[in-house]
Structures are given as C-alpha cells and as structure tokens.
C-alpha cells in the first residue's frame, strides 16, 4: 500500500512523436485513479510507464515515496490486470495465480494459503484445477484479478480490464472491482475509454486528450464543472449540447446564434460580442408549456424512448440542421414525434460557458 | 464456453453433412473415393511389404525369380546374420553398429537443430540488440544455400579440424537450420505481447519466461519439428558419404549403397533387404509414436 506520484511524466517515441506530454498526478494511498480518454490519448502509455513496461522519457514516477524510474516491472511491486487477461494458457488457474509468488521464492505453504484465500474471495475455489480455455470470459477476468491480489502489491494497474466482456457482465464486474479495491485498500490506477466505468470507479478522474491531462478532479466535480469543451463532450452520456453564442449587451445575457437570448448565470457573463459556446447537458433542458417561456425551440428529428426517460434529438428551429445537434433528455415517457417543435427552457444555473476559440471554461 | 464450442462443432459437422448432400456425394462416389485411397495405400505399402518378404528368403530364392509373395522360413537366419555376423561387403560391420551410428547422427541433428533454432528465434523475437535485423537476414539468406552448394568448403573445414570419421563431423555441419529458426520465429511472434508483459510483472526473467512459458507453449511445434528433422537426419546421404571413410562409422543409408554391387551375384540381397527393413523402421516408429503431437503441431496452436 502506497501513494503513487507522477511528476511531469513525458514519453517521446523516436525523439519526435510525443505520446505523453507532461502529466503530474498525486494518487493518495488507497485511492482509485481512473485515466479516461479517447483511443490514442496516451492513457495506456502512461499506465505502462507506471508499470515499468515502457521507458519514461522524462519526469519521475514514484510508488510509496520511492522513485521507480529505473526499476523493472517486477521490482516495482505492482500487479497488473491486462485487457485480454494474459493468463498463461498452459497453466491451471492455481498455477496462474501462484506463478508470480513462486518466482519471488515464497514459501510453498504461504503460496497455497494466499492462492486459496484469493480464490475464495473471487469465487474461484471450484475452478483451481481448470485451465484458462475451460473458463468463461468473466471467470478469466476473475483469475486475472486473483493473480493481482495474491501478491498484495503496492498498487494495482488495470488496463481496460472489462472491455472484452458483454455489457451485463461488465456492469457486474465493475461493482466487484470497486468493492474489492475498497476492501483491500490498494492504490489503483485504472485505464478505460468508457466514461460510465470512469465515473463509477474513480476517486480521482483524469480526463486525457492528446497526451495531456485536460482535467484532474473527482468525477462529480468534473461532471459539474468541466474545464474545457473536450471534457464537457467526453464526460456525460449523451454528450453535452454546445450552442454557439455571443455576449449580449450588459445585463441582457447571451445571444444564441440560433436566435433568442439566455441568461445562464448572474455573474461572469462574457462581454458583448465575445464568441462563446454555451454548454447544456441534455438533462438540463426542460420542456415548457408555452412558447414564450422557452429559451430555445427544437425541431425533433429522432426520438429514443428509454422508458425511464426519453431522448429527443433535433436542432434549434431557428437555425438549420447544420447549426448543431441538440439532444434533450426528458423525464419519463413524453409523447414526442419526429418533426415536432419543442419549446425548451435552459436550466441557467446548470449551463456552462466556454471560450469559442480556446475551448476553455470561462 | 465449452458448451458453445461443442455446439459450434456439431453445427459445423451438420453443415458438412448438408454440404455433402448438396454436392451430391452419393454412396457410389464414396465407394469410388475409397477404392482410389486403397489403391494409393497399396502402391505405397506393397514395395515395403515386398522388401520384408525378400528379407525372409535365402539368397538363392531371391536370385531365382519370381520371388514368392509370402514370407519364407529364413527370417531368423537372415536377421541374426545381419545383426551379429556382419556384412562382408562393408567390412564385416553389423547392422547394429550402422543403426547406432545413424541414430546418433539423426538424434544429434534433430536435437541440435531444435536447440539452436529455438534459442536464435528466442533472441530475435524477444530481445532488442544492435544488428538484430542484420542477423535475422543473414540466417534467412542461408536458406538459399543448400548443403550441396557449401559442401566443399565445409568438407575442408572438417578436414582441418580433424573431424573426419567422427560423430561431431557427421552432425555439426547439418545442425544450423534457417528453416527451423524461421518457423519458431513465426510461432513466437504469435505469442501475445500481453503474455510477455504479464510474465515480466510476475517477475519472470528471460530464462524463466523461456522455460516456464515459451517452451510449454511450443511443445507441439517442437514435436512436429523433431519428427521432420529426425527423418531429415536419418536419410542424409551425401554428407555422411563424404565425411566418413571407415566402415564402422557408416550410416545405414551409406552402408546400403555400399552393399550393392553391380554384379548381382556379388550382392547379398537377403542381407540388403534386412538392412532396408532396419533402415525404414526407426522413422516409421518415430512417426507412429509422435503422430498425435506431430499433427497437433502442424494444425493447432494452443493459445
């Protein structure tokens, strides 16, 4: 058990391609840090640098107050769970879990005790004599977890461990991983591209884009105050609506490019004429009864009735379809049909403003 | 998982049967197919059987055609003479010695080839060192140089090293193998990178990885290659002919050749036939005993 600290960690391939462009994160003891981002954002590279599988070009990685830059993966005292589980196909489940311990020269009885303990925790006790190919995907995933926990390492590293499971199993394993990590209290770094996984698992969420950490915070803080349009678009499903707008006259709020004005917040309104993007999550658009109470009118092009709520896709009625897609999440089952025009109010307190040029939060 | 696999294979089997019906494979055409196969087996097996038959008759019977189709009563006499009496034309060396020589050579070549090629493929695939690709290409290029092309320089080297008439001289020049190295390289490259990394995280160094993970995963390939290389070594002709002078270093293939004289009367055909039977027996045994592994190695990889 230990803290994991990254200080200005960089990775450059062949002196030119920068995969990770300087990332600093402090992960406190026992916390779960999730790295999330689109593919190619450098999240896996970063994880592999923590694991020692990839060399660190510059910066330092410390595990438990000890700089581990030059240590091999085995000496860092970490355990890793791989995307494709990477179980040894010719070994029984028992040997798969015991292999790392044997290599460390641990006493046989101690190995046996640890393997059986871990197998008990993960519900693998019946499967110890099987080989990986005789197991289902979920069971393999558990063995991979077991291989990590028998070692009682300083840190767990997860590299998209759930991406090969079906949706139902994924949800189930997600909760199991969360509970296991909590009860063992082992510092963990978890890489995923799935924002639901990221939101539910993380104590600290790191949203990465093109080798940089766009935002590091708790999941809810990131959801409530995204630092940039990238984060705003990546976290939350369906994605946040971004409406082109510009600052209106003092005290008059924002002029939407699609027509109409909104007053998202009392303070910090942009000066007149400044181009901004107004970010509104689909759940913060509410259906109003009268047209003159509406901040924006939406022409519906598609409806997804999910039962608990209804997603209406469309575009601002004053603009054209290319002015930007608009999605509204309406509670319950609302009767909406294609072609309807919905008067919508923007929950002004929950709206976000981003600079149109830099994409940063205002 | 296993259930699904069974279902799949039953489905596949059903599919095949339906396909068979669709292609109009009737009872009659199945008989024809079997007839062709039986004729094929007969063509291959009959000469071998006939060799065995000839090896159980006396020289006189063999020299007086036609040769009977059933085994004669000289089985024990001929085999005893060949094994312990020694064959005159090759300096009185018994077939036992020949078998021993050939076994040593074939095993040496097969095992040596496998050890060397596994190790070099291991280095080429899993290590980054300067000149890695250069060495790979050097090995690759030797594929284009068969034994016959480099036979004179090799012979000179063996003479200079004083390795004529030695097992080392028989084995060493045939041991390096580009083919086997390439085969193992291809196989090693199919091993997922994650597996290698998992082993590193588990604290397995290169040797542990080689011994605990790579070798167990390659065992079917090793077996298949062993069979191929053993037979390759067993049937070597040109090189043993050059590098052995004394009769008691002959391999069985060379001895066979030497036993046959141009004049029929000089050749002890009954002993030649016994030697032939002995010459084909070990490869057949190796294939029979290793068949399961051999086929597995060629068709599936356990991953």
**Gap between the Cα atoms of B70 and B89, Å rounded:** 28
Residues in chain B: 303
Residue by residue, pLDDT tens for chain A (362 residues) are 689 999 999 999 987 888 999 999 999 999 999 999 998 899 999 999 999 999 999 999 999 989 999 999 999 999 999 999 899 999 999 999 999 999 999 999 999 999 999 999 898 999 999 999 999 988 999 999 999 999 999 999 999 999 888 888 898 889 999 999 999 999 999 999 988 899 999 999 999 999 999 999 999 999 999 999 999 989 988 889 888 888 777 666 777 777 667 766 545 677 777 888 888 899 998 888 877 778 888 888 899 988 889 999 988 876 555 567 889 999 888 888 888 888 888 887 788 888 888 888 88
Q: What is the pLDDT of residues B215-246, one digit of tens each?
A: 999 988 888 888 889 998 998 888 888 888 88
User: Are A128 and A93 in contact, with CB atoms under 8 Å apart?
Assistant: yes
- What chain A residue is nearest to B218 in terms of C-alpha separation? A90
Spatial distance between the Cα atoms of A159 and A80, rounded to a whole number of angstroms: 8
Beta bridge partners of residue A275, listed in sequence order: A246
Task: State whether A103 and B216 contact (CB < 8 Å).
Answer: no
Query: Quick one: pLDDT at residue B24?
Result: 62
Element at B16 (helix H, strand E): helix B2-22
Same domain, B76 and B112: no
Taking the mean position of all CA atoms in its chain, how far away is CA A8?
A: 21
Contacts of A135 in chain B (CB under 8 A): 1
pLDDT tens for each residue of A190-232: 999 988 899 999 999 999 999 999 999 999 999 999 999 999 9
Among B34, B64, B83, where does a domain finish? B83
Instruction: With CB atoms and an 8 Å threshold, state whether A103 touches B204.
Output: yes
A103·B203 Cβ contact <8 A: yes
Tokens, residue A153: 């390492």
> A70: how many CB neighbours lie within 10 A of its CB?
9
Q: CB–CB of B163/A60 below 8 Å? A: no
Residue B75 DSSP class: H
Same domain? For B113 and B220 the reply is yes
Q: How far apart are the first and last CA of chain A?
A: 39
Number of other CB atoms surrounding residue B121 within 10 Å: 24
What is the structure's pLDDT at A217?
94
Min Cα separation A150/chain B (Å) = 11
Residue of chain B minimizing CA distance to A157: B201
Contact B255, B278 (CB under 8 A): no
| B292: confidence class by pLDDT, cuts 50, 70, 90 | confident
B107 within 8 A of B286, measured Cβ to Cβ: no
Whole-prediction pTM: 0.79
Q: Does B15 or A122 have the greater pLDDT score?
A: A122
Give the model confidence (pLDDT) of A41-87 as tens digits: 999 999 999 999 999 999 999 999 899 999 999 999 999 999 998 99
Q: Which of A53, A84, A87 sits opposite B200 (nearest CB)?
A: A53
Q: Where are the beta strands (DSSP E) in chain B?
A: none
Give chain B positions within 8 Å (CB) of A99: 202, 204, 212
- Considering its fold, how many domains does chain B have in total? 2
Phi-psi region of A232 (alpha: psi -120 to 50; beta: other; left: phi over 0): alpha
CA distance B273 to A39: 70
Q: How far apart are CA A80 and CA A151, in angstroms?
A: 11
- Secondary structure of residue B240 in the 3-state scheme: helix
pLDDT at B124: 92
Q: To the nearest 5 percent, what fractions of chain B are helix, strand and coil?
A: 75, 0, 25
Strand order in the sheet with A17-27: A17-27, A4-13, A58-63, A66-67
Q: How many residues does chain A have?
A: 362
A72 vs chain B: nearest CA distance in angstroms? 8
The reported pLDDT for the residue numbered B3 is 43
pLDDT higher at B125 or A275: B125
CATH class of A238-355: mainly beta
Closest by alpha carbon to B301, among B209, B207, B189, B208?
A: B189
Q: Which pLDDT value is given to residue B141?
A: 85
Q: Which residue has the higher pLDDT, B161 or B148?
A: B161
CB pairs under 8 A between A and B: 64
Residues B117, B266: one domain? yes
Residues B128 and B276 in one domain: yes
Query: Distance, in angstroms, between B225 CA and closest chain A CA?
Result: 20
**Domain finish residue from B60, B83, B106:** B83
Q: Could you give the CA distance from residue B89 to residue B258 in angstroms, rounded to a whole number? A: 7
Residue B303's pLDDT band (cuts 50, 70, 90): very low
For residue B229, what is the enclosing H or E element? helix B215-234
Contact A27, A5 (CB under 8 A): yes
Let me know whether B264 and B182 are in one domain. yes
Q: What is the pLDDT of residue B297?
A: 65
- Beta carbons of A279 and A229 less than 8 angstroms apart: yes
Q: Are residues B60 and B201 in the same domain?
A: no
Among B67, B83, B99, the domain boundary falls at B83
Task: Judge: A86–B192 Cβ closer than 8 Å, yes or no.
Answer: yes
> Is the ipTM above a cut-off of 0.90?
no
pLDDT above 70 for B160: yes
* Residue in the structure block whose two tokens are 């669709």: B22
According to DSSP H, which parts of A72-218 are helical? 93-103, 108-122, 137-149, 167-184, 195-201
Please report, for the domain that includes residue B101, its CATH number: 1.10.3720.10
CB-based contacts of B84, cutoff 8 Å, min separation 6: B94, B96
Domain ranges in chain A? 4-229, 238-355
Are B291 and B69 in contact by the 8 Å Cβ rule? The answer is no
pLDDT at B198 over 90: yes
Q: Are residues B165 and B47 in the same domain?
A: no
pLDDT band at residue B11 under the 50/70/90 scheme: very low
Q: Are residues B72 and B144 in the same domain?
A: no
pLDDT in the model for residue B90: 67
Q: Does B113 share its domain with B11?
A: no
CB B225 within 8 A of CB B232: no
Closest listed residue to residue B234, CA positions, set B148, B44, B107: B107
How close B117 gets to chain A, by Cα (Å)?
22
Cβ atoms of B203 and A80 within 8 Å: the answer is no
User: pLDDT value at position B2?
Assistant: 42
Residues B101, B211: one domain? yes
The residues pairing with A316 across neighbouring beta strands, listed in sequence order, are A298
Average pLDDT over residues B68-96: 77
CB contact under 8 A, A134 and B1: yes
CA distance A195 to A223: 11
- Note the pLDDT of residue B7: 46
- Which residues in chain B are contacts of A84 at CB distance < 8 A? 192, 194
Give strand pairing partners of A215. A207
The topology under which CATH files domain A4-229 is Rossmann fold (3.40.50)
- Tokens read off for A338: 């294609």
Q: Which domain holds residue B126?
A: 90-299
- Quick one: tokens of A244? 């082109």
Q: Does residue B109 sit in the same domain as residue B255?
A: yes
| Count of CB atoms situated within 10 Å of the CB of B193 | 12
- Percent of chain B whose predicted confidence (pLDDT) is above 90: 27
Which residue reads 């179980």 in tokens? A87
Q: Do B203 and A74 lie within an 8 Å CB cutoff?
A: yes
Nearest to B201 among A79, A83, A136 (CB): A79
* Cα gap A257→A276, rounded to integer Å: 10
Q: Are residues B165 and B29 in the same domain?
A: no
Beta pairing partners, A309? A331
The whole-number pLDDT of residue B6 equals 44
Q: Which residues of B touch A78 (CB under 8 A)?
A: 201
Cβ of A72 and B1 within 8 Å?
Answer: no
CB proximity A86 to B under 8 Å: yes
Q: Give the integer Cα–Cα distance in Å for B278 and B194.
A: 49
Please, where are the H alpha helices in B23-94? 27-54, 59-63, 75-80
């Amino acid at each position: 058990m230990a803290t994991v600290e990254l200080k200005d960690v960089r990775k450059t391939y062949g002196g030119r391609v920068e995969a990770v462009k300087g990332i600093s994160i402090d992960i406190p003891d026992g916390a779960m840090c999730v790295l999330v981002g689109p593919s190619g954002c450098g999240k896996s590279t970063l994880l592999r640098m923590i694991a020692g599988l990839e060399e660190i070009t510059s910066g330092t990685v410390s595990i438990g107050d000890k700089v581990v830059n030059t240590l091999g993966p085995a000496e860092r005292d970490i355990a890793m769970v791989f995307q494709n589980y990477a179980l040894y196909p010719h070994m029984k489940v028992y040997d798969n879990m015991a292999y790392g311990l044997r290599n460390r020269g641990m006493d046989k009885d101690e190995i046996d005790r640890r393997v059986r303990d871990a197998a008990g925790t993960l519900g693998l006790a019946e499967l110890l004599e099987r080989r990986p190919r005789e197991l289902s995907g979920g069971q393999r995933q558990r063995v991979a977890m077991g291989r990590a926990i028998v070692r009682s390492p300083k840190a767990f590293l997860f590299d998209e461990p759930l991406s090969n499971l079906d949706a139902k199993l994924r949800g189930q394993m997600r909760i199991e991983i969360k509970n296991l990590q909590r009860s063992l209290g082992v510092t963990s770094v978890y890489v995923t591209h799935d924002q639901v996984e990221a939101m539910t698992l993380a104590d600290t969420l790191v949203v990465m884009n093109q080798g940089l950490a766009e935002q590091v915070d708790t999941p809810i803080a990131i959801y409530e105050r995204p630092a940039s349009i990238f984060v705003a678009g990546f976290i939350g499903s369906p994605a946040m609506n971004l409406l082109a707008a510009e600052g209106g006259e003092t005290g008059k709020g924002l002029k939407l490019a699609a027509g109409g004005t909104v007053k998202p917040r009392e303070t910090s309104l942009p000066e007149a004429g400044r181009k901004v993007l107004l970010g509104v999550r689909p759940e913060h658009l509410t259906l109003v009864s009268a047209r003159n109470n509406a901040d924006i009118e939406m022409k519906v092009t598609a409806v997804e009735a999910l039962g608990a709520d209804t997603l209406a896709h469309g575009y601002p009625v004053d603009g054209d379809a290319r002015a930007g897609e608009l999605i509204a999440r309406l509670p319950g089952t609302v009767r909406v049909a294609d072609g309807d025009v919905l008067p919508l109010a923007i929950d002004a307190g929950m709206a976000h403003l981003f600079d149109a040029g830099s994409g940063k939060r205002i | 998982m296993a259930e699904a696999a069974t279902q799949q294979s039953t489905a596949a089997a059903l599919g095949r049967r339906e396909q068979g019906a669709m292609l109009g494979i009737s009872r009659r055409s199945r008989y024809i197919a079997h007839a062709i196969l039986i004729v094929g087996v007969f063509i291959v097996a009959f000469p071998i059987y006939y060799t065995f038959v000839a090896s159980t008759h006396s020289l006189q019977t063999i020299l007086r055609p036609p040769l009977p189709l059933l085994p004669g009563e000289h089985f024990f006499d001929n085999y005893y003479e060949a094994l312990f009496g020694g064959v005159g034309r090759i300096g009185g060396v018994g077939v036992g010695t020949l078998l021993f020589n050939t076994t040593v050579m074939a095993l040496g070549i097969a095992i040596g080839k496998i050890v060397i090629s596994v190790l070099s493929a291991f280095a080429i695939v899993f290590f980054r060192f300067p000149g890695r690709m250069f060495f790979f290409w050097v090995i690759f290029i030797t594929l284009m140089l068969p034994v016959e092309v480099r036979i004179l320089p090799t012979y000179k080297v063996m003479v200079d090293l004083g390795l004529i008439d030695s097992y080392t001289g028989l084995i060493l020049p045939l041991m390096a193998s580009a083919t086997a190295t390439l085969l193992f390289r291809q196989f090693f490259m199919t091993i997922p990178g994650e597996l290698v990394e998992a082993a590193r995280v588990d604290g397995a160094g290169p040797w542990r990885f080689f011994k605990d993970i790579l070798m167990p995963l390659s065992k079917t390939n090793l077996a298949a290659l062993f069979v191929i290389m053993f037979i390759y070594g067993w049937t070597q002709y040109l090189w043993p002919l050059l590098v052995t002078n004394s009769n008691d270093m002959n391999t069985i293939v060379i001895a066979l050749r030497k036993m046959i004289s141009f004049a029929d009367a000089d050749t002890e055909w009954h002993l030649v036939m016994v030697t032939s039977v002995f010459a084909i027996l070990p490869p057949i045994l190796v294939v029979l005993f290793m068949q399961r592994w051999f086929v597995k190695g060629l068709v599936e990889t356990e991953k």
